[in-house]
């Protein structure tokens, strides 16, 4: 059922994903200026919309301290699914180039890509943006839920 809280949570997480994606791209370009990100940002924005609608927007109607935790949970889910999507995409690109001998080696390659990409998120500015964004997202969604329901 569409609600204002689901819409606002999706929009806010899309905005957070936009800014964090820019930060990650800038950090990775410092190390290697020849990177091609392709649909990196669009994939993150699509996942953010789904996480905002399904996870954050559907768990409203609590006290503000619980909403804070729900916002952090939604951001953790957003990070997990983005890392999963990008590591699987990179694994599929590598497997099309026949860099793996079997399916188990390809799965291990995807895990390695995920760990490598998670290391990029360990920067202080990116981590603070994610934590702060999760807190604000939870509180904002709860506020909208109480205001327009």
What distance in Å separates the CA atoms of residue 52 and residue 56, rounded to the nearest whole number? 5
Mean pLDDT of 35-44: 90
Mean pLDDT of 48-54: 96
For the chain, the domains span: 4-82+122-147
- What pLDDT, on the 0 to 100 scale, is given for residue 31? 81
Asked if 12 and 141 touch (Cβ cutoff 8 Å), the reply is yes
pLDDT in tens, 77-129: 999 999 999 999 999 998 988 888 888 998 999 999 999 989 888 899 999 99
Sequence-distant (≥ 6) Cβ neighbours of residue 68 within 8 angstroms: 135, 138, 139
């Amino acid at each position: 059922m569409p609600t204002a809280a689901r819409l606002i949570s999706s929009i806010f997480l899309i905005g957070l994903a936009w800014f964090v994606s820019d930060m990650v791209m800038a950090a990775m370009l410092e190390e290697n200026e020849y990177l091609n990100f392709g649909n990196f940002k669009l994939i993150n924005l699509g996942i953010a919309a789904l996480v905002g609608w399904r996870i954050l927007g559907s768990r409203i109607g609590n006290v503000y301290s619980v909403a804070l935790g729900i916002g952090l949970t939604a951001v953790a889910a957003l990070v997990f699914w983005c890392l999963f999507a990008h590591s699987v995409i990179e694994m599929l690109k590598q497997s099309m180039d026949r860099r793996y001998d079997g399916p188990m080696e390809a799965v291990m390659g995807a895990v390695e890509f995920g760990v490598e990409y998670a290391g990029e998120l360990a920067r202080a500015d990116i981590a603070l943006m994610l934590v702060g964004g999760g807190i604000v997202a939870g509180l904002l969604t709860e506020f909208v839920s109480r205001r327009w329901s």
